Structure 1
Amino acid sequence: MRILLVEDDQVLGEGIKTALDREGYQTDWLKSGLQAKQALLTEEFELVILDLGLPDIDGIDILKGARKSGLDIPILILTARDSVEDKITGLDTGADDYLIKPFELSELKARLRALGRRSHGHVDPVFKHGNITYNPASLEVTLEGKLIDLSRRETTLLAEFLNNPNRVLSKAKLEDVVYGWDIEVESNSIEVHVHHLRKKLYTEIIKTVRGVGYKLESYEK
């Protein structure tokens, strides 16, 4: 899952990004409201963590603009504004959740998992696809009950396919999810990760749609 983190505090931003990257998320971190507004117009994210007290634009204005433009992805407000009125304003403006600073990273991660499930129509906290299961809380993947050893990026890629079982995902989209902005991507990186998933799980799990991208296939054995 690709997340946009909008937070101007250097220490907090670094801590959140590091923690979420370890969980298999691809976290793109911005410190400016203007940059965030532009990114939301030009990039594709699956969830936003939005600080309200930004140095240039109030986070509520970014939230209003996102909803006015029709952006319907989950947005979690992260702020020190803890009055009931502030919470009501944030939620009524279009936020999906509201977390007060200071907070525990474990709670933030749990809230993100819940928002991710709801946005993809999942009720069960564990993803299941045929004989494959994926637990976002533990990052464990099993095939027919056997634990499969995947790298962090392989896990991130598999999670994206499981989140979108009926969609053809372009190579560019998958590169954004797996790498984000921070890393220069080799031209065949996604092909390599797909090859490893096929080898570690089963050959037919991911179908290549020539000229378009990749699609998760049903499990048949």
Structure 2
Amino acid sequence: RELIRVVALAGVMSYAAVWLITEFQPLRNRFMENDNEAVGGFVIGTTGRSKMWEITWSSIKESPWLGHGVGDAQQLITDHIPLLTHPHNDYLRLWNDVGVIGMGLWVSAVLLLMRGAVRRWRTAATAADRAIHQAALLCLIGLSLNAFTSNSLVYIFVAVPVAVIVGTSLGRAYASNASERPTVQRNPIGQALVKVPS
């Protein structure tokens, strides 16, 4: 039932978004009529992103495996487009700065965190724990998708809340596991007494 509810809500929101973009001119202009670049056979407005991505991609090709060092993408964009400071695609930023190896480590870490959140969500004992594990998973998915067209990894107001929610999920799992472990106590003459939680 939850899945049906989520799919239905996503359908309604998608319809509303399409309606707003097609019927509300200021919003349509924001997405469709700014720099009018051809992307995948469609002419859309990328608000300058296509130019930033082209600059970053050209730099990536010079050192694809190890990258150019942390912060290089930001300086690269500033050198070419003085009013801008980010490539508006964090995967291109990672690839340019830390290469395939660094980006692979980042993606692997996020996928492991997602898998852990799914496992904790499925095995959570209480509704509150399930909610925080689900929130952690959704935060990681949202962050990962947003990184394709934005700079969410370097925005502290995005990264910190995500880290807090994911950390809380990990902490709740640790606390639950710790409460289930037997504890060893010693009586006054040194004999070990095992106290098993009920």
Query: Same fold per TM (> 0.5)?
Result: no
* Bin for the TM-score computed over the shorter chain: under 0.3
**Relative contact order higher in (CA < 8 Å, ≥ 6 apart):** 1
Greater per-residue helix proportion: 2
Greater per-residue strand proportion: 1
Which structure has the larger Rg?
2
When normalised by structure 1's length, the TM-score is 0.26
When normalised by structure 2's length, the TM-score is 0.27
